[in-house]
Amino acid sequence: TDSTEEIVNSLNQNGGLVHWVNIQTLDRHVVKAAEKIFKFHQLTTEDILNTNHLPKLDVFEDHCFLIMKIFTYSEGKKRFDYEHVGVLLFEDSLLLLQEYPGDIFDTVRLKIKEGSGSIRKGKSDYLFYVLIDTLVDHYLEIMEEMRERAERMENSLLEGEDSVTLNEIIKMKRQMNRMRKFTFPLITEVKKIKTEPPSFFDKSTLTYMEDVFDHLYLLNTNFEYLRERLMDLINLYHYKLSENTNQVMKVLTVVSTIFIPITFVAGLYGMNFQDMPELGWKYGYPAAMGVMAAIAGGMIYYMRRKGWM
């Protein structure tokens, strides 16, 4: 079949000391075929096929099994997707299974090329390190983009711009929560490599792994920071709305408080009683105007003192 060919193809393509096999589909038959070739546990297959599974790292006697997610975040598209990835590490080969065809291998290949000659001699464990490192760096980049976007939104709110809507903030919070859910377990899981490393894991690779732990810790800190930031953003939105409502109320109150009483006075002299002496007075009209001006002035004075005008 098409998928089996792909396996053979990758085996040939990477026929060096370490076999890299990249299966870019999570079709049950393909994974089952890989299970037979690489002889891993049936439950591992189930975990690979369950695309809702949380990240985890299982260390077995002769191999490791890692579940991770690849995220695609694009501010332009405002969509946020993730892809299920399973990695099986054996002494002399690495099997990467991912949901959709993607370019993650290109970045890894690039990183390995970038690495100095001394690094190239690395075995499958080093490849494993580069893979995790690439993904964690990728997470950090997405976090940084999110953080920058949150900062821009906060600045817009602080400057009183209308461009930030509640929906936008809420959607960003949802993205952050989903990403957190699918990366958080990794922080503890990857540590297993340190406490119980597989027999074929080189000590020097563990030194490199320290760098990954550092980055995972940074990721965790950045999540907490972004989370607080988004909470602050929502609160800020709410406070700004309260301030706006308060200001709207003030204008309504100022206008009503000035005009309602004097409208009453005008209404008073609009009554049609036959016997209203004021109406015949010579200065009746200017006097009424004066009374109204006095009332309005008093109200304005009162509200000025209150700081509402």
Q: Which of 11, 33, 49, 54 binds a second copy (CB under 8 A)?
A: 54
The mark string for 255-274 relative to a second copy (x by CB under 8 A, - otherwise) is xxx-xxxxxx-xxxxxxxxx
Q: Does 187 bind a second copy (CB under 8 A)?
A: no
Q: Which of residues 138-177 bind a second copy (CB under 8 A)?
A: 154, 158, 162, 166-167, 170-171, 173-174, 177
Q: Which of residues 221-250 bind a second copy (CB under 8 A)?
A: 221, 225, 228-229, 232, 234-250
Q: Counting Cβ atoms within 10 Å, is residue 35 exposed (0-12), middle (13-18) or buried (19+)?
A: middle
Task: Find the distance separating the first CA and the last CA of the chain, reported in whole Å.
Answer: 79
Positive or negative, the CA dihedral 292, 297, 298, 299 is: positive
Q: Does 117 bind a second copy (CB under 8 A)?
A: no
Min dist. Cβ of residue 219 to a second copy (A) = 11
Contacts of 119 (CB under 8 A, 6+ apart): 112, 126
Closer CB to a second copy, 92 or 148, in the complex: 148
CB 190 within 8 A of CB 57: yes
Q: Which range, of 21-29, 77-85, 130-138, 206-214, touches a second copy by CB under 8 A? A: 206-214
Q: Counting Cβ atoms within 10 Å, is residue 227 exposed (0-12), middle (13-18) or buried (19+)?
A: middle
d(CA 153, CA 169): 8
Tell me the site size for a second copy, rule CB under 8 A.
78
Specify the pairing of strand 19-23 against strand 93-98.
parallel
Min dist. Cβ of residue 28 to a second copy (A) = 15
Q: Does 100 bind a second copy (CB under 8 A)?
A: no
Token code pair at residue 273: 């009683």
Min dist. Cβ of residue 50 to a second copy (A) = 10
d(CA 90, CA 178): 31
DSSP 3-state of 18? coil
Q: Does 301 bind a second copy (CB under 8 A)?
A: no
Closer CB to a second copy, 200 or 259, in the complex: 259
Q: Which range, of 4-12, 22-30, 100-108, 282-290, touches a second copy by CB under 8 A? A: 282-290
Min dist. Cβ of residue 199 to a second copy (A) = 19
Q: Does 211 bind a second copy (CB under 8 A)?
A: yes
Q: Which range, of 7-15, 20-28, 192-200, 218-226, touches a second copy by CB under 8 A? A: 218-226
Min dist. Cβ of residue 26 to a second copy (A) = 18
Closest to 226 (Cα-Cα) out of 150, 136, 152: 150
Half-sphere exposure of 135 (CA within 13 A, CB side): 28
